[in-house]
Structure 1
């Protein structure tokens, strides 16, 4: 079966990408490290969310005892 123009273009892109990797060590090819990871939510919002969830529970417990 002959390749379609879309398949031919996709194969060419793949070949260029793989050719760029040749001869490089694995560490250099795999760029995902802990230093590169960035959380989608900032620390400030995590603190606010934690306060809302834990704070509400604490206030409810205080309401039961006092």
Structure 2
């Protein structure tokens, strides 16, 4: 059997009064999940050393060549 409008209003009032008696429920707070890198810090350091270390060694190899070229150009201009 279906509810009449009067029964529906009465049920809504009853539900409100019961909810007021129970009080507010505890709200569930979701904690942020910390995203974890798939690479450990050690591997990141090794990768950075390989990339940047290779660049540093290459610069150490090239700088004396550049310096000697610059010195020879200055000698030609002054002589």
**TM-score, structure 1 normalization:** 0.49
Larger Rg: 2
Hey, which of these two has a bigger chunk of helix by percent?
2
